[in-house]
Structure formats: C-alpha cells, structure tokens
C-alpha cells in the first residue's frame, strides 16, 4: 500500500516511544529500519523485535549531539544498504522548568539534542539524497512550537526552531527532489510525556488538566503518530513539502 519495499529509513530516537512505533511500522510496510539511539541496548531490542516479526532492521548507536556520531550513522547506513531514502529525525529530550530558572547548561543541552541534533542529521543525509535525486525527511516537532505551557519555554524554543529549520531546508533542496516536513504530535503516551507529568508538582492534577484540554479527551498512542510519519515520508505525499501535520486530537484547533 505504501510502496516502502526496498527503501531504507533512518530513525533517531528509535529505542522507544514514537521512534520505536515508527520503526516497527516502516518495517511492516517493507522498509529496512535503521534504529538509531544513544540507548544502544534499547535500539537493539527494537530491531530484534522487528526481525522476529519478519521485518528488516539493524540497530546503530548514535548521539545526535555529536557531528562525528551522526556522520558515522549516515555513512554506515549507506555502506550496509547502498542507499538512504528517509530520515525520521525524532530524537529529543524535554526540560520542565521556568525560563529564568533554566541554567545555561540546561539550555545548551536541550538545544544540542533537539535542534542542533536535527540539523546534524539533515546535514549528514542530504548529500546522499542529492546523489539519489530523491529523499524524504520528517522531523518530530511539537504543539509547543505553536502554543506552550508554563515551565516549557526552553523546550518550546527548540521545537519552534525545528519548524523554521524545516521550512528553510524544504526550500533549499526541493530542486533535488528532497521533501522536508514536520509531524506535530499532541500529548502522546511516551516516556517523555510520562516524565513531564512525573515532574509536575501534582502529576494527577496535571494529567487531568492535560486531558481536559484535548478535544478527543485522551493521549495519542505512539502508533497513531507513526502513521502520520509514514504518510509524510511516502510517495503518497509526493507534493507535500515545507509544512507540518498536527496529530494532536484537536488541541491546536482551539482558540
């Protein structure tokens, strides 16, 4: 259905959550999933589960903060498979802290993973895609790029930066047949969201507040976000570039 047979997709942050769900989905649709994560044991567990399910997957350690690690990820993928068709730049961390209380070290680390890491991944794979005259990049941004919560200002800044970077890259490389888009997950049942709730002064109250603001009244499953990523990466979205797709239960539709 999705014409993924023979394609190679690199997924950062693939050890758990949305990245893991995307790796499994792409593999079920015929792609080879390169599961990249700083948590290499978790990446290998995801890849092994895919292989046991009959899919094709390998696990590679990658620290998206480091240019040499990201370049090695791209080079190893091409050396193993001869191509690199799709990048799902999904690795991210979150910080729950008021703006002025955020230390310089926390700000720098958050931006190094969430924004610099996406830039490094795109920088490493785009030359490969240029040689192939085709490629698709999907970046996991967030509704925080549009409307945020208290104690999320630094995180929101990284997610807004991802949107701006995506738009610029889409224009830079459209002539090379490379499409660049963002998926905008709403609150999703992932470790990142669970950690956010746990860090709240009253986790149960914060969960009620969170769910109360979502028109569909629930958290997304990681698999629901993965479906949107698959669409954006696929040839079904061949005329879509430079845009973002909200998968947020109606959250951003509200005034």
Residues labelled catalytic: 155
Tokens coding 47: 């890849």
| Residue in the structure block whose two tokens are 């394609």 | 7
**Bridge-partner residues for 184, per DSSP?**
246
Which among 6, 15, 116 is positioned nearest to 70, based on CA atoms? 116
Number of Cβ within 10 Å of residue 41's Cβ equals 11
Phi–psi pair at 208, nearest 5 degrees: -65, -40
Q: How does strand 135-140 pair with strand 178-185?
A: parallel
Which two three-digit tokens encode residue 9? 């997709």
Residue showing tokens 């350690």: 61
């Amino acid at each position: 259905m999705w014409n993924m047979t023979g394609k190679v997709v690199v997924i950062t942050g693939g050890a758990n959550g949305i990245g893991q769900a995307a790796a499994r989905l792409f593999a079920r649709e015929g792609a080879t999933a390169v599961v990249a994560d700083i948590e290499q044991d978790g990446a290998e567990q995801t890849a092994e589960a895919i292989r046991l399910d009959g899919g094709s997957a390998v696990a590679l350690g990658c620290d998206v903060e480091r240019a040499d690690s990201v370049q090695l990820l791209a080079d190893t993928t091409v050396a193993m498979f001869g191509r690199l068709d799709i990048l799902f730049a999904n690795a991210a961390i979150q910080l729950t802290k008021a703006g002025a209380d955020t230390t310089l070290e926390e700000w720098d680390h958050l931006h190094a993973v969430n924004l610099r890491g996406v830039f490094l991944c795109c920088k490493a794979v785009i030359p490969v895609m240029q040689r192939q005259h085709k490629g698709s990049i999907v970046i996991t941004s967030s509704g925080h790029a549009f409307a945020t919560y208290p104690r999320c200002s630094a995180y929101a800044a990284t997610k807004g930066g991802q949107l701006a970077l995506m738009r610029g890259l889409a224009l830079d490389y459209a002539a090379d047949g490379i499409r660049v888009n963002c998926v905008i997950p709403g609150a999703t049942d992932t470790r990142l969201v669970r950690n956010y709730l746990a860090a709240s002064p009253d986790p149960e109250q914060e969960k009620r507040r969170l769910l109360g603001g979502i028109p569909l009244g629930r958290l997304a499953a990681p698999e629901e976000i993965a479906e949107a990523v698959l669409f954006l990466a696929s040839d079904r979205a061949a005329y879509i570039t430079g845009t973002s797709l909200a998968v947020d239960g109606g959250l951003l539709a509200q005034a």
